[in-house]
Amino acid sequence: MGLLGKGRHDSNIKGHISEAAITTRLLQAGYVVLTPYGGSQRYDLVIEDADGQFWRIQCKSAWIDEDGTVLKFDTANHNVTGTKRDWRHYRGQCEYFALYSAELDKVYLVPVDEVGTTRAHLRLTPPKNKNQYGYRMASDYEL
């Protein structure tokens, strides 16, 4: 008798998978990983580095764009009240985004202050126009 999962993953399950993959990779990289109690904080994890400094981490699921050159992720969440949708960014509430790409099975650590306040992307390949400025390579942020 084999065990089978329930099939498709909803956004909550995808988030749990991303957070588990991120936690595993941070532990493999030698960080101490702490989880806040209660779930009402604007960060998902706290890591302690080799110098004993603590950093708040917001975990995000990333996806590859349609042409396969860019890894995208949201840098805010939706605050929905009635028919109004407001974006709430994370600046000042955590120091890093930890991204998990299920398609690549990779984790990236991106400083919150280096990206925009609603959505961001990391390049998987250099731009075709040979532009040398204004983009971030995913490989520079990979854990």
Cβ contacts of 9 within 8 Å, gap of 6 or more: 17
What is the pTM (predicted TM-score) of this model?
Answer: 0.85
Please tell me whether residue 88 adopts helix, strand or coil conformation: strand
- The pLDDT of residue 43 is 93
Tens-digit pLDDT profile for residues 79-116: 656 566 677 888 889 999 999 999 999 999 999 999 98
Cα torsion angle, 55, 74, 126, 29, sign:
positive
What are the tokens at 4? 């089978």
Classify 105 as helix, strand or coil.
coil
At 26, is the secondary structure helix, strand, or coil? helix
The tens digit of pLDDT for each residue in 26-71 reads: 999 999 999 999 878 889 999 999 999 999 999 999 999 988 899 9
pLDDT in the model for residue 12 = 79
For range 8-26, the mean pLDDT: 87
